[in-house]
Chains A and B, each alone.
Chain A
Amino acid sequence: MADKNFKINLTDNIKTVEDIFSGDSILRKRKFTFCSLSACLFYFDGMVNVELINESIIKPLVKSKAEINKQKAAKQVAERLLFASEIKMTSNINEAVSAALYGDTLLLIENSHTAIVINTKGWRTRGISEPENERVLQGPREGFDEAAMFNVAMLRRRLQTPDFCAKVIRLGRKTNTYVFVCYIKGLVNEETLRILKYRLSKIDIDSVLDSNYITEQITDHKASLFKSVGATERPDIVAARLLEGRIALVVDSTPVVITLPYLFSENFQSDEDYYINYKLATFGRLLRIICFFLATTVSAVYLALATFHFQFLPPAFAITVSSARMGVPFPSALECIILTLIFEVLRETGIRMPQSVGHALSIVGGLVVGQAAVEAKIVSAPMLIAVAFSGICGLMVPRLKTAVFYLRFIMIFAAALFGLYGILCVFAVTVISVLKMESFGVDATLSLNNPTCQTLKDVFVRAPWTKMITRPLIQKRNVIRKTK
């Protein structure tokens, strides 16, 4: 749409707006007269607070008996008659239309080439609820909803400092989605901010309907199995990350907020770690690290031992393995792949199903099918145990589910082809790729490259708050979080 301005004639301006939204039947128009002047309101039904329009725009204007100078009508109306909390004047049609599309009301007055944009946003939101994927037993239970403005407000409530910045940009040629770049001045790494702004400026897409549209376009390692951009639905987590010098991207119409840079150690951190006793949190974190290794390797190692390195198994276990395999028609490798796929199918179906069906599915899938398959000699019991254990361990690290899923299969293929040597090769390549990872100019494993008590205090363990003296070294200055 060309950059045009409103004209002086009200009829022409009304026609212009109507022409722009000619295909939109939820556009509402309300003509009225006040103080001998004709005026027209435009707003979108469902996006505005109608009561607010009645009480703060129509009522004061219609009831007004003020003397209005026709040449300065818009300015005088905005300053003296309207009760709205936020009013903006613009003569640019694009700007006015854009505001209307985000729930503002346009007031056009005769003999005025300026539109008054009144903040009457009032669309319905889902409201604050606990995020399904990030439940905690102890700690805050608020979660973001789909309205970016409210989400930023939730952050602002937690960060009551003038240093908190929330700069707005709009992305998506058709959706014009509001994206708030949030950070804390003085704590943020300026280089990271520069890289982020550059990458955001390079995004040219017609729609941004979820934060993942942006994540995939700004991430460092697009082909990597490991994330280099974080995502959460919890305002307390975002606030904590901002306080560590990170940047948050609050995208309108999604509750998922992007945080960056993303350190590899964050994969093993739980939201609850900081709200429960540090000893328990440390145990949980170590368990998650161990479970990540087990999730990716257990079924592959079992396969390698059973097929390539049978001599490594203790005699009693070797006999059990051989005995259980009797009568199974598939080769061990195929059996392992099939079982892993079945587990993934059950997991995926369980997520998408309603909760009541999900429970039934777990029972049918886990108990009935599993036991029946073993009894029917379609699969062997030790392999089923290995795959199931590996699958359960994978659920311990939800932030690494992509990596766990792919690595598990890669490990199984490597084990089927080369035994333990294959597994070790995949492991080595994975470790090298993790150590090489960067997230927005920051080393993703910076704590491991500079191992001191302070850098490791929140990696393998969760140190007590009395020992959390410095922030992660994402930024080089202002690193002291707590005085000794």
Chain B
Amino acid sequence: MKKIYKLILPLILILTLSSCAYSEPDAKFTVTALGFSEEKNTVNAYLQAIDFATTENGNINTFLTQGEGDNIPLALSNIKSKLSKAPSFEHCQIVFLSDGIEGELLKHTLDCLVRLGMSQRVTLAYTKNIEDALSSGKITSGNEMVSLIKQNAKEWGFGGHTALFEIKTAVLENGGNFALCHIETKNEEIKFSGLAEYKGSQKKKTFKP
């Protein structure tokens, strides 16, 4: 019997410490894009998720929802309270940062992304108007936006993707440089319009082609 206990104990420890949990794939909203902006000391969070109820035959339909709060967790919490299912951030492809997400707020945003379990695959981009970018008619999901950015960024000799940990390191070092793709929205279309350069946690300038 002791042998059985010896076997079961590590198993339970592994399972509990790894926060292993069962959840049905259709019992959550798959988030494809996120966006954060700040206005008058209020953080606005935008969440784009797939609406499986209307997704058929390979056509992905997404919906956009918004929440406000004094800080990023509160803004996200407001969004969650509007949703009928829990959002799943594991497949979020792109995170838009807008004006105001700088300094301490940028640090908090990056921390939040790590806590949400976002992988290194996530692409960070800068845009002035997140709502327009996420609800533009022709490009409907984060996946497609990332494809578009990468395609256009190639022409600039830029990969279109800066790994999350690289950005985090640059921000924490307080002086490191990094660049994000600059996205503009025009006539319900989004387009790659250059690079937004950050020094430490501050946005410095935008390079245009």
Contact = CB atoms under 8 A, between A and B. Distances in A.
A311 B117 contact: yes
A272 B39 CA distance: 75
A322 B18 contact: no
B24 interface: yes
Interface in B81-96: 88, 90-91, 93
B20 interface: yes
Given A322-B25, A326-B53, A332-B25, A418 B20 contact: yes
A158 to B, nearest CB: 49
Nearest to B22: A307
A52 interface: no
B20 A307 contact: no
A329 B170 CA distance: 48
Contact of B143 (A307, A308, A316): A316
Interface in A315-342: 315-316, 318-319, 321-323, 325-326, 328, 331-333
B30 A322 contact: yes
Contacts of A325: 24-26
B23 A307 contact: yes
Given A315-B93, A318-B91, A319-B30, A326 B23 contact: no
B14 A319 contact: no
B181 interface: no
B90 A311 contact: yes
Contacts of A331: 24
Contacts of B90: 310-311, 318
Nearest to A330: B24
A311 B119 contact: yes
Interface centre among B25, B91, B93 (most CB of A within 10 A): B25
A315 B146 CA distance: 12
Contacts of A310: 23, 25, 88, 90-91
Contacts of A421: 11, 14-15, 18, 20
A393 interface: no
Contact of A311 (B26, B91, B93, B143): B91
A147 interface: no
B51 to A, nearest CB: 10
Contacts of B52: 322-323, 326
A124 to B, nearest CB: 56
A364 interface: no
B20 A308 contact: yes
A379 interface: no
B9 interface: no
B174 to A, nearest CB: 31
A318 B53 contact: no
Contacts of B119: 311
Contacts of A306: 24-25
Contact of A323 (B15, B55, B88, B117): B55
Interface of B: 11, 14-15, 18, 20-26, 28, 30, 32, 50, 52-53, 55-56, 60, 88, 90-91, 93, 117, 119, 143
Given A315-B143, A325-B24, 4 more contacts: A308-B23, A311-B117, A323-B56, A421-B15
User: Nearest 9 A-B pairs (CB), nearest first?
Assistant: A311-B90, A325-B26, A315-B91, A322-B25, A326-B52, A323-B55, A306-B25, A318-B91, A321-B25
16 contacts: A306-B24, A308-B20, A310-B91, A315-B143, A318-B90, A318-B91, A319-B30, A319-B50, A319-B55, A322-B26, A322-B30, A323-B55, A323-B56, A325-B24, A326-B26, A421-B11
